[in-house]
């Protein structure tokens, strides 16, 4: 059940709610390592990456219970181990974040260099240099980081790039180091604030500003109950779907988190109303949108994870658009699939030039990663005829808990095969 069969051309109508955020859940799951007391997390999405991370935390000694649908509880029954299972860690990049919390809790850790999507080099130098500033020592042997720290100390850290993962990693580690740590040039993604909220509930004092994050950590962190923010990437995907297919759809999400996308969609000519806990997207089925120039940037710039989903909309725009990818170096491989569906796109290094065409047609295409896979599904919704998106590695299930069901609920003809 990992492929999608889509018959394009249906108008979308109704209401849909974004799942809980994957990218907020993953670091927050890791943060449960910081305490033995009970952490309850609500609105956790059902995703492959969440299951993998659950297995990693269990292997490290956490007890993870998952009683009700989207509620997880974390406690501890055994001594924490510092050895993360290599095979699982290599499956997903976010699992690397266990390194700092393990160092802070037990003074040593052994964590494989991470895997994740094949979208560029994705090094972890900023994670390691930040932890080094806190007093950690590392050795790298055969793709595994062996780390030690007698006692971590608070630090003044300057990130040369606002990496999301490094900011989260250093912020959660600092929460368990008594004293004041400052992280300058931090990432400002909404998921960072969600993690800061959880850490605050656990007892750390955290001030988040665009220029720096200040963490006043403590010796022990305590129990907390937290609801994960809605997934802005999932909500954004449904907003783009509505714009592509025409219709009127209310999407349950936090409009503030979606502002960078909303601005771009409005510039193209899509009508969007912002409500307190939702956005309403209105689009005319036969409308052709204005072409755009988009550059992906750290938040509040245009998110790299919505770069691929935006491409089908620009492929059907009334002129030539340009997308420049500045966050990852290899994120246009999916363009081949769109070309097979009739899109006219040229890729020059980090820039794609998209000449709008009047229509796309159905084809059999391959999902290469989460967002690339979803971009092809979106193209299929707007295309004439039937599109099959093959996803043998289940990339899409890493990011969307119920993509087919959610889109069907608002009128799309899509089935998992």
Instruction: Name the site residues for ligand UD1 (rule: CB under 6 A).
Output: 23, 26, 93-94, 120-127, 161, 163-166, 187, 191, 303-305, 327-328
User: Strand, coil or helix: what is 215?
Assistant: strand
- The C-alpha angle 198, 275, 262, rounded to 5 degrees, equals 85
Which residue in the block uniquely carries the two structure tokens 């391959």? 366
Per the structure block, which two tokens stand in for 193?
């604030």
Minimum Å distance from CB 371 to ligand UD1?
8
CB-nearer residue toward ligand UD1: 26 or 213: 26
Minimum Å distance from CB 347 to ligand UD1?
18
Nearest residue by C-beta to ligand UD1?
A: 165
CB-nearer residue toward ligand UD1: 282 or 328: 328
Query: Which residues have C-beta within 8 Å of that of residue 125, sequence separation ≥ 6?
Result: none
Minimum Å distance from CB 98 to ligand UD1?
13
DSSP state of 197: H
- For 352, phi then psi, to 5°, come to -115, 135
Minimum Å distance from CB 213 to ligand UD1?
14
Torsion of CA 159, 217, 300, 26, to 10 degrees: 100
Work out the burial of residue 79: count CB atoms within 10 Å of its CB; fewer than 13 is exposed, 13-18 middle, 19 or more buried: exposed
Rounded CA-CA distance 10/411 in Å is: 7
CB-nearer residue toward ligand UD1: 36 or 189: 189
Torsion of CA 227, 233, 236, 241, to 10 degrees: -120
For residue 291, which of 327, 329, 253, 318 has the smallest C-alpha distance?
Answer: 318
CB-nearer residue toward ligand UD1: 206 or 370: 370
Q: Largest alpha-carbon pair distance within the chain?
A: 65
Minimum Å distance from CB 320 to ligand UD1?
26
Minimum Å distance from CB 134 to ligand UD1?
15
CB-nearer residue toward ligand UD1: 146 or 328: 328
CB-nearer residue toward ligand UD1: 99 or 341: 99
Minimum Å distance from CB 129 to ligand UD1?
8
CB-nearer residue toward ligand UD1: 301 or 411: 301
């Amino acid at each position: 059940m990992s492929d999608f069969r889509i018959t394009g051309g249906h108008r979308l109508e109704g209401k849909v709610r974004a799942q809980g955020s994957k990218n907020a859940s993953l670091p927050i799951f890791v943060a449960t390592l910081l305490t033995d007391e009970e952490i309850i997390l609500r609105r956790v999405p059902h995703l492959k990456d969440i299951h993998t991370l659950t297995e990693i935390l269990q292997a490290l000694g956490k007890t993870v219970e998952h009683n009700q649908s989207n509620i997880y509880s974390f406690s501890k029954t055994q001594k924490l181990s510092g050895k993360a299972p290599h095979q699982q860690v290599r499956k997903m990049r976010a699992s690397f974040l266990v390194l700092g919390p393990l160092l802070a809790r037990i003074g040593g850790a052994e964590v494989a260099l991470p895997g994740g999507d094949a979208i560029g080099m994705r090094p972890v130098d900023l994670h390691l240099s930040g932890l080094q500033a806190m007093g950690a020592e590392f050795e790298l042997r055969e793709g595994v980081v062996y780390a030690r720290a007698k006692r971590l100390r608070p630090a003044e850290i300057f990130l040369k790039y606002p990496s999301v993962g490094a900011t989260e990693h250093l912020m959660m580690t600092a929460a368990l180091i008594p004293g004041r740590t400052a992280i300058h040039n931090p990432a400002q993604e909404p998921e960072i604030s969600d993690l800061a909220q959880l850490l605050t509930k656990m007892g750390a004092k955290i001030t988040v500003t665009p220029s720096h994050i200040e963490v006043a950590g403590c010796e022990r962190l305590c129990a907390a109950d937290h609801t994960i923010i809605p997934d802005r990437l999932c909500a954004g995907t449904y907003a783009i779907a509505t714009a592509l297919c025409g219709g009127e759809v209310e999407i349950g999400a936090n409009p503030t988190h979606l502002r960078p996308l909303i601005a771009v969609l409005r510039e193209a000519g899509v009508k969007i109303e912002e409500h307190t806990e939702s956005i309403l997207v209105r689009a005319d089925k036969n409308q052709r949108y204005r072409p755009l120039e988009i550059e992906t940037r750290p938040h509040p710039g245009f998110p790299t994870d919505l770069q691929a989903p935006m491409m089908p909309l620009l492929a059907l725009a009334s002129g030539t658009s340009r997308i420049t990818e500045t966050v990852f170096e290899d994120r246009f491989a999916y363009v081949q699939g769109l070309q097979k569906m009739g899109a006219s796109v040229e890729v020059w290094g980090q820039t794609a030039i998209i000449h709008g065409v009047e229509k796309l047609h159905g084809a059999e295409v391959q999902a290469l990663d989460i967002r690339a896979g979803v971009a092809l599904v979106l193209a299929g919704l707007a295309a004439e005829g039937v599109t099959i998106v093959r996803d043998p590695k289940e990339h899409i299930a890493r990011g969307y808990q119920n993509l087919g069901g959610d889109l069907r609920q608002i009128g799309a003809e899509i089935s998992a095969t």
